[in-house]
Amino acid sequence: MLFETNKDKGRAGMSFAIAYFGSNGYTVSVPLNDTQWYDLIIEKDGIFQTVQCKATGSQNNTISLRNCGGTKGKEYDNVLNHNLDLLFCLNSKQELFVIPIQDLKQYIPRSQITLNTNKPLNNQGFPSYKYQVQL
């Protein structure tokens, strides 16, 4: 999967997240604006959760946890600084990961994680393979 722009990445991440959660029995709600720190609200069995969606087109499957913007792309925040429940990740091979933010916070300080589908030989880094899901 090729992403020509960051907007392409964002749209793909949101689309796959909606498809994943919707096909797994969740009610998916999309906020009317983009000023909150979550992209989706999901609900199942009366439990509501917030979801931040991220996608990467990098060959090494890194996901930035930083939020950047402006004309110089300056970092203005990190998803770990907010009261989110889940991080949904998509890589260029269309592999999906649903990571509880609480599990990710154990690895602070982090500005990025690498999405691995197998356990690393050296047990280094975030164990993303544990959170891989299928559509």
What does the pLDDT look like over 91-117, one tens digit per residue? 989 999 999 999 988 876 678 888 989
What does the pLDDT look like over 39-69, one tens digit per residue? 999 999 999 999 999 999 888 898 888 766 5
Q: Burial level of 90, CB count in 10 A (0-12/13-18/19+)?
A: buried
What does the pLDDT look like over 8-40, one tens digit per residue? 888 999 999 999 999 999 999 999 987 788 999
Assess contact for 43 and 29: CB atoms under 8 A: yes
Domains of the chain, each with CATH number or no CATH? 6-133 (3.40.1350.10)
Residue 71's pLDDT band (boundaries 50, 70, 90)? low
Q: Cα separation of 122 and 135, whole Å?
A: 29
